[in-house]
Amino acid sequence: MRYSDLFPKTRRNAPKEAESLNHRILVRGGFIDQLMSGSWTLLPLGFKVVQKVVDIIREEMNATGAQEVLMPLLHPKEIWNQTGRWETARDVMYQFKDSRDREYALSFTHEEVVMDLVRKHLRSYKDLPIKIYHFSTKFRNEPRARSGILRGREFLMKDLYSVHSNEEDMYKYYWEVKDAYLRSFGRIGFKDVKVVEAAGGVFTDKHTHEFQVLSEGGEDVVYYCDRCDWAQNKEIFQDKAGDSCPSCKKGKAVEARSIEVGNIFPLGVWYAEKMGVYFIDEDGRQKLPWFASYGIGPSRILGTLVEVYGTEKGMLWPDSVSPFTVHLININTDALFVYEQLQKVGIDVLYDDRDVSAGEKFADSDLIGIPIRLVVSKETGEKIEWKRRDTEEIEILGIEDVIERLKNK
């Protein structure tokens, strides 16, 4: 891709109302655009990053045996009445009437819709387990949408739902999904994700689990052990920072700010009971299936990556989710020979071919954050300057070496 063709270009200044780093950097870099509070367009650069995040999550979900679907976002009131959530979730749900006075909501989650699906198609224990997921928009009337793309009123979620014949089978899969989540977050580039116990909500007395990325820019507060895997969120933590770990007793509870990137919920039979979902078990008896749900926010992950890896100067993407593999810059000469050869072998390259100063090109490449920068100038001649932005190491290479290295990425 030629940078001269890319829509839109970088901006020198962040919008005045941008309170968070991800908002400033993603808007300046041309990754996202704000329509109104909590409502964002993913521009080509931002969309590429989110697609890479989505591809990683999809692979890991499929590896657990889950199947991808796409469910509607416009829901009739009746379905929400079956669990009582039309009333109890009123604050978060966008509810409205159409021109014929029928009532609807925009989806803020899909438990009711999945249960309705399962009710129509589930007959016997032989149909279980069921594991389905989708990537789609969620709408939530968030009272506070000030953290850039971390908190949208309309945002992308991957939500997975699983249905089982008993509690044991539900928990077996629940822990498999926990591992798949940790693998996903690791591949996306987060080095230290805490699996944090949280309150079960009104539907279960068991814990749910949040996946929290430690970051000063986060809205959440978590406590974790400096020795073992134990962690709890602020809502359920009973002690205070510095106290000894309630699990291993050896470590200390550390307090930290964090961003929730995922959450998994063992929901039990509550939904099946409310919605009249049954199956015939092996013993011939009619039973309620066990239900769990699992969410990840790919658009929040876009912002979280910036909170973790960005500075006021710009971004530095992990290789796995960088919008392009390399950023090629020409200075007072042509780099077309490099651009064309890289393209020919299928390397995703952003070529800043504009007629602007070297300083401007470097500043923009620091802002956009592609981890490898190639420079072709009068000084490099037939050769190419290769710089890894994380180590700042610079090497001078021939085109064959550049291709060889990038092909292995």
Contact between 258 and Mg ion by CB under 5 A: the answer reads: no
Q: Which stretch binds Mg ion (CB under 5 A): 7-15, 148-156, 259-267, 379-387?
A: 259-267
Q: How far is the CB of 253 from Mg ion (least distance, A)?
A: 21
Q: How many CB atoms lie within 10 A of CB 103?
A: 15
- Contact between residue 301 and residue 323 where contact means Cβ atoms under 8 Å apart: no
Contact pick of 295, 310, 318, 369 for ligand ATP (by CB under 6 A): 295
Which secondary structure element, helix H or strand E, spans residue 24, and what is its range? helix 21-28
- Closer CB to ligand ATP, 260 or 366, in the complex: 260
Near ligand ATP in 147-206, by CB under 6 A: 151-152, 155, 157
Question: Which residue number places its CB atom closest to ligand ATP?
Answer: 297
Contact between 46 and ligand ATP by CB under 6 A: the answer reads: no
Q: Which stretch binds Mg ion (CB under 5 A): 56-64, 78-86, 241-249, 257-265?
A: 257-265
Contact pick of 263, 293, 304, 365 for Mg ion (by CB under 5 A): 263
Contact between 266 and ligand ATP by CB under 6 A: the answer reads: no
- Closer CB to Mg ion, 110 or 361, in the complex: 110
Contact between 300 and ligand ATP by CB under 6 A: the answer reads: yes
Q: 355 is written with which tokens?
A: 């007629």
Contacts of 331 by beta carbon, 8 Å cutoff, 6+ apart: 358, 361, 375, 376, 377, 378
Q: What is the dihedral of CA 148, 149, 155, 159, to 10 degrees?
A: -130
Name the residue among 188, 189, 205 with its Cα closest to residue 197.
205
Secondary structure letter of residue 286 according to DSSP: E
Q: Of these partners, Mg ion, ligand ATP, none, which one is at the site of residue 24 (CB under 5 to 8 Å by kind)? A: none
- Contact between residue 350 and residue 327 where contact means Cβ atoms under 8 Å apart: yes
Q: How far is the CB of 154 from ligand ATP (least distance, A)?
A: 8
Contact pick of 112, 116, 260, 353 for ligand ATP (by CB under 6 A): 260
| Single-letter code of the amino acid located at 119 | R
Indicate the angle between helix axes 336-344 and 399-407, nearest 10 degrees.
40
Name the residue among 114, 110, 149, 160 with its Cα closest to residue 263.
160
Q: 112 is written with which tokens?
A: 């009711």
Contacting positions for ligand ATP (CB under 6 A): 140, 142, 151-152, 155, 157, 260-263, 295-297, 299-300
Contacting positions for Mg ion (CB under 5 A): 263
